[in-house]
Structure 1
Amino acid sequence: MNHDDDILQADVFDDERRLSLDELSQLCGAQTTLIIELVEEGVLEPADVRASHWVFSGSCVRRVRTAARLQRDLDVNMPGIALAIELLEELESLRRRVR
């Protein structure tokens, strides 16, 4: 077995990073239609809604990746995705507080 196959890749994005709709789609391996639905459902909010095109903060990457996995792997509908992401983030927040 080649140890190069064992290397994990991680991308870290913070709120300072700005991404276009297409960039966010490519980084997450998600269709732009999914991202648009996430905005319409209130799961994502563009960083600058006044711009002629949407701009997203880097923190949206994690939400889109999670939504894409929920939709692809579990066939969860959009309201279910919104609820699951909210609950996952609340759980993460509670775990941080306990530590």
Structure 2
Amino acid sequence: MSKSEIVVIESSPSEHRLFSLEEVCERCGAHTEIVVEMVEYGIVEPVEQASASVWYFNTQAVVRLQRAQRLMDELELNLSGVALSLELLDKIDGLQKHIVVLKSQLP
């Protein structure tokens, strides 16, 4: 599966900014093919697809891509390992948020 362009939408109160594939790859330190493979592995998902060749990502997706790239670079994980690691990290984050809620309910 090859995509000709991936565009990132960064939401801020003052403006919406679009990023080209080159800019996304630069921000994540990844090659185009790796970003496409990360989408195929479900590591990150486009928020919306305007067409088959243009994907839109929010800033959370860019942060996730950066995190995935760091796991690949620093721990030398393959994409399956990255997907599993991010899934487990998401669960940990969710549990930590749940702990904060529960602690706030204690007298």
Q: Which runs of 5 or more structure 1 residues have no equivalent in the other structure?
A: 1-12
Per-residue deviation at 1:23?
2.7
User: Could you say which structure has the higher strand fraction?
Assistant: 2
Contact map agreement 1:67 1:81 (CA 8 A) in 2: yes
Aligned to 2:86: 85
SS in 2 for 1:55: strand
TM-score of the aligned structures, taking structure 2 as reference length: 0.69
Instruction: Encode CA deviations 1:9-55: one digit per residue, 9 max, x unaligned.
Output: xxxx6597654433321222222222111101011111222424111
Per-residue deviation at 1:91?
0.3
Stretch deviating more after TM superposition (14-23 or 24-33): 14-23
Q: Percent same amino acid at aligned positions?
A: 36
SS in 2 for 1:30: coil
Per-residue deviation at 1:90?
1.0
Are residues 90 and 18 of structure 1, via their aligned partners in 2, closer, same or farther at CA, if it must alter by over 3 Å?
A: farther
1:97 partner letter: H
1:87 partner letter: L
Distance in 2 (alpha carbons) for counterparts of 1:29 and 1:53: 20
TM-score of the aligned structures, taking structure 1 as reference length: 0.74
How many residues align? The count is 87
Are residues 19 and 89 of structure 1, via their aligned partners in 2, closer, same or farther at CA, if it must alter by over 3 Å?
A: farther
CA RMSD of aligned residues (A): 2.2
SS in 2 for 1:46: coil
